[in-house]
Chains A and B, each alone.
Chain A
Amino acid sequence: AQSVSQHNHHVILSEAASLELGCNYSYGGTVNLFWYVQYPGQHLQLLLKYFSGDPLVKGIKGFEAEFIKSKFSFNLRKPSVQWSDTAEYFCAVNARGGNQFYFGTGTSLTVIP
């Protein structure tokens, strides 16, 4: 079975600080990678996804993530966070051609104005 690890459980940053959230997965085959975000009181929604091609993918609201195959990692980054980025962030993976998504335990981000 696949697994996804998110190393940071709770992150607190001041506005304008840079953000990097770690995500590692365990699966030897080809994978699709996702970051989802859950803003307070809202549905989970997709931030960005990687299927193939350029390992640096850009998503909504200035977020980006880099797929490093050799490290089985897909870390999420944002150069300058805003108060509105306060949310819970989930990394997810599924095997190419597979039917199951595996989610990490989530990282709660609090941005202080």
Chain B
Amino acid sequence: NAGVTQTPKFQVLKTGQSMTLQCAQDMNHEYMSWYRQDPGMGLRLIHYSVGAGITDQGEVPNGYNVSRSTTEDFPLRLLSAAPSQTSVYFCASSYSANEKLFFGSGTQLSVL
């Protein structure tokens, strides 16, 4: 059982570039979410989804886009990367929004 798989593990972008962080889970979880982890800030919710076709914004959604066309996949798109988006990104999933989260291994993103 792979759990939650995030790719890539590391990425360097130039300001203005766009990219997609991939997240896939094989546990048939309805709830999926994206967080960013910054020093001294903890984990902050970017976007979440309670099922295929349903997404909503979290605390820090600006500059990010998501979609959920299947139960398994929840990609995070950076539309025009900015240095302020340098962070470690985590994808997490669970059976529902009130259950424990299963986390991916993270993506370390640097925007120059």
Contact = CB atoms under 8 A, between A and B. Distances in A.
B42 A99 contact: no
Nearest to B48: A99
Interface in B6-32: 31
Contacts of A1: 59
Q: Contact residue range for chain A?
A: 20 to 34
Interface of A: 1, 4, 6, 9, 32, 34, 36, 43-46, 49, 51, 90, 92, 94, 96-106
Given A98-B97, A101-B101, A106-B43, 18 more contacts: A43-B103, A43-B106, A44-B90, A44-B92, A44-B101, A45-B103, A90-B42, A94-B97, A99-B50, A99-B56, A100-B45, A100-B59, A100-B97, A101-B97, A102-B45, A103-B43, A105-B40, A105-B41
24 contacts: A4-B42, A34-B100, A34-B101, A43-B4, A43-B103, A43-B105, A43-B106, A44-B92, A44-B101, A44-B103, A46-B100, A49-B100, A51-B98, A96-B98, A97-B98, A98-B97, A99-B48, A100-B45, A101-B97, A101-B101, A102-B59, A103-B42, A106-B42, A106-B43
